[in-house]
């Protein structure tokens, strides 16, 4: 009995100590860089029902006269991606853009050699551009480095961007598009180093040799385009060879990272996100140390301009891939825990603003996606909410925000934070993911700025970590969104258990 009393007293003391120790510190003068709006992008690929049967479905009463599923488009608009990457992904290694332009009845339906099934190519370049315009998203096209040629890639640039009296600009006009598409971002292949794929550049020296030819023809066609070279995560030999070879001509190095949950270790997904953050930090330092912000000794004989800005990462595939359905496991149903992980990952992207210039959640519809559809309708998965919210509130300058909060299994901090400041509008926004089972209360110390008022608090929560939205119950939404305004300022900030919270403060 005496022991029990001691235990209860100790626990109470410990609990109180815990809550006293919780602390948030933000430093308005410690900048982590400006967040590029292009970090809030999405990706679509010819894979499963992402495009055919997802975004595009002719003869479905839910589709418009272009074949775009109206319900899916409405959700994609609400998601508000700033950029859209297309058409792959791995499938790009077999993609030939001319199969997907011109009269629809003449397009070449083809077996998808990578992911299975047949692609109709009814949704090709022009439909993709129309989709981007509808979303107000910047298009990013990925060229085929494996079975395509440099000339084919340059012709694609001309088809999209040509303004003169040329065959390919005229072909676009003949297809009904008088104005150039002005596609600025072009990626030079996808995961070219991956041995099991249908690519042919597993040796980075081969990639550099071939890709240099692509760069020359594409840039000579349109010198204003920005290029994304293939990176290979933490393969320093690959990244160094590529950037030593073509780093003066390209603007971005691609980086891909998917996380998942190790069986019976629910916090492992957060540990993996923390590992991604360390990798991004490492890659950013590697780039800044080895490749200067400006380019010297560029030969005028190249006849097109060199890179004009420091090289940034294009984090053009990030997401959660739980491998739920064999063989590739890409039709993921995301729980509320995945939404917390998505928000945590978005906070990494915000914190790494100096390094990341573009980022795309992979993907958008039906495959690893925030939007799921079937013939009768569509639903927003749990991860939709953080993707939408961070885009809406997460622009401006990223600044240092640190929490002192309990440590969870795997060494994960309970309260993960990021913060942004808009110095002109005098607004500070704090993003927080409470990954623990308890509500956290924490006083805020703001250095080098003063809060005028707590403008608003938006919190996202759900009944359980395993809650999910499904196509089987489209009318049910397990995500609760609550907004409070005019909150008393002298109280500690509060974060509900297993929640995402966005506080906005006005500054003096
Ligand atoms: O997004 C699914 C696949 O993941 C992409 O096709 C490929 O680039 C990556 O490995």
500, 389 contact by CB (below 8 A): yes
pLDDT at 14 exceeding the cut of 50: no
Query: What per-residue confidence (pLDDT) applies to 354?
Result: 98
C-alpha dist (Å) from residue 44 to 59, 98, 347, 449, 506: 21, 18, 23, 41, 38
Cα 255 to Cα 269: distance, rounded to the nearest angstrom: 19
pLDDT at 6 over 70: no
Q: Measured between alpha carbons, how far is 22 from 399 in angstroms, rounded to an integer? A: 20
Of all protein residues, the one whose alpha carbon is nearest to atom 4 of ligand 1 is: 89
Runs of H (alpha helix) within 222-249: 236-246
Q: Whose CA is nearest to atom 9 of ligand 1?
A: 89
Give the count of beta carbons closer than 10 Å to the beta carbon of residue 198: 14
Q: What is the mean pLDDT of residues 113-125?
A: 96
Q: What is the pLDDT of residues 275-316, one digit of tens each?
A: 999 999 999 999 999 999 999 999 999 999 999 999 999 999
The model's confidence at residue 20, banded by pLDDT at 50, 70 and 90, is low
pLDDT band at 199 (very low <50, low <70, confident <90, very high): confident
**HEC letters along 281-322:** HHHHHHHHHHCCCCCCCCCHHHCCCCCCCCCEEEEEEEEECC
pLDDT, one tens digit per residue, over 314-342 is 999 999 999 888 899 999 999 999 999 99
88 C-beta closer than 6 A to ligand 1? yes
For ligand 1, mutation pick of 256, 316, 332, 368 (most atoms within 8 Å of CB): 256
pLDDT at 413: 96
- Are the C-beta atoms of residues 226 and 185 closer than 8 Å to each other? yes
Distance CA 85, CA 38 (A): 11
Structure tokens at 440: 């956290």
Asked if residue 192 has pLDDT above 80, the reply is: yes
Which band of pLDDT confidence, cut at 50, 70 and 90, is reported for residue 74? very high
pLDDT at 9: 37
Among 57-61, 210-214, 229-233, 486-490, name the one with the lowest average pLDDT.
486-490
- The tokens 């995560």 sit on which residue? 233
Longest dimension (CA), the chain: 93
Q: For the residues 463-485, what does the mean pLDDT come to?
A: 97
Cβ–ligand 1 contact at 94 (below 6 Å): no
Q: Is 490 helix (H, G, I), strand (E, B) or coil?
A: coil
State yes or no: pLDDT of 255 exceeds 70. yes
Pocket test for ligand 1, best of 317, 318, 328, 361 (most atoms within 8 A of CB): 317
3 state DSSP class of 46: coil
* Domain positions in the chain: 2-32+399-507, 39-393
Kindly report the CATH class assigned to 2-32+399-507: mainly beta
The beta-strand segments (E) located in 11-106 are: 23-35, 41-43, 83-86
Residue 17 has pLDDT above 60, yes or no: no
- CATH 3.20.20.80 is the classification of domain 39-393: yes
Q: 21: pLDDT confidence band, cut at 50, 70 and 90?
A: confident
The whole-number pLDDT of residue 19 equals: 53
Q: Is 362 in the pocket of ligand 1 (CB under 6 A)?
A: yes
Task: Taking residues 484-493, report their average pLDDT.
Answer: 88
326-363 exposure pattern, b = at least 16 Cβ within 10 A, e = fewer: eeeebebebbbbbbbbbbbbbbbbbbbbbbbbbbbbbb
Whether 436 is in the pocket of ligand 1, judged by its Cβ within 6 Å, is no
pLDDT single digits (tens) 353-373: 999 999 999 999 999 999 999
Q: Is the pLDDT of residue 83 over 90?
A: yes
Kindly state the DSSP code that residue 123 receives in the 8-state scheme: S
For residue 8, is pLDDT > 70?
no
Of 9 and 144, the structure prediction assigns the larger pLDDT to: 144
The structure tokens listed for 111 are 């077996």
């Amino acid at each position: 009995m005496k022991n029990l009393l001691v235990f209860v007293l100790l626990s109470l003391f410990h609990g109180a100590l815990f809550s006293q120790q919780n602390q948030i510190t933000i430093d308005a003068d410690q900048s982590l860089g400006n967040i590029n709006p292009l970090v809030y992008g999405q990706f679509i690929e010819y894979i499963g029902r992402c495009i055919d049967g997802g975004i595009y479905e002719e003869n479905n009463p839910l589709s418009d006269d272009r074949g775009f599923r109206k319900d899916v488009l409405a959700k994609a608009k609400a998601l508000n991606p700033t950029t859209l990457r297309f058409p792959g992904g791995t499938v790009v290694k077999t993609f030939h853009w001319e199969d997907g332009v011109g009269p629809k009845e003449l397009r070449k339906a083809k077996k998808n050699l990578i992911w299975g099934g047949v692609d109709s190519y009814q949704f090709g370049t022009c439909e993709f551009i129309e989709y981007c315009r509808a979303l107000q998203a910047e298009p990013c096209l990925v060229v085929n480095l494996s079975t395509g040629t440099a000339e084919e890639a340059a012709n694609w640039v001309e088809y999209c961007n040509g303004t003169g009296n040329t065959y390919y600009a005229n072909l676009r006009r003949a297809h009904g598009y008088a104005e150039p598409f002005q596609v600025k971002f072009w990626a030079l292949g996808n995961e070219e180093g991956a041995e099991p794929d249908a690519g042919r550049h597993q040796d980075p020296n081969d990639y550099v040799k071939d890709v240099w030819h692509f760069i020359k023809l594409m840039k000579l066609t349109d010198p204003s385009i920005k290029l994304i070279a293939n990176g290979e995560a933490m393969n320093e030999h690959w990244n160094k060879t590529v950037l030593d070879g073509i780093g003066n001509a390209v603007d971005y190095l691609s980086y891909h990272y998917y996380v998942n949950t190790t069986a019976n270790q629910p916090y492992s997904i957060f540990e993996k996100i923390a590992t991604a953050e360390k990798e991004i930090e490492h890659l950013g330092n590697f780039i800044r140390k080895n490749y200067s912000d400006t380019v010297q000794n560029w030969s005028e004989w190249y006849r097109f301009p060199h890179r004009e800005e420091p090289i940034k990462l294009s984090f053009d595939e990030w997401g959660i891939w739980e491998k739920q359905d064999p063989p590739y496991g890409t039709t993921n149903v995301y729980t509320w825990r995945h939404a917390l992980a998505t928000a945590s990952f978005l906070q990494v992207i915000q914190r790494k603003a100096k390094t990341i210039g573009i980022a795309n959640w992979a993907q958008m519809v039906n495959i690893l996606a925030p939007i799921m559809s079937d013939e009768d309708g569509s639903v927003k998965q749990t991860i939709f909410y953080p993707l939408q919210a961070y885009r809406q509130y997460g622009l401006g300058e990223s600044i240092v925000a640190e929490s002192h909060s309990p440590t969870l299994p795997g060494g994960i901090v309970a309260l993960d934070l990021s913060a942004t400041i808009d110095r002109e509008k005098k607004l500070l926004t704090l993003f927080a993911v409470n990954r623990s089972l308890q509500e956290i209360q924490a006083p805020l110390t703001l250095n080098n700025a003063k809060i005028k008022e707590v403008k608003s608090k938006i919190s996202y929560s759900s009944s359980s970590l395993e809650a999910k939205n499904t196509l089987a119950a489209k009318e049910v939404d397990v995500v609760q969104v609550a907004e409070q305004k005019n909150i008393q300022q002298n109280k500690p900030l509060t974060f509900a258990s297993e929640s995402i919270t966005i506080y906005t403060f006005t500054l003096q």
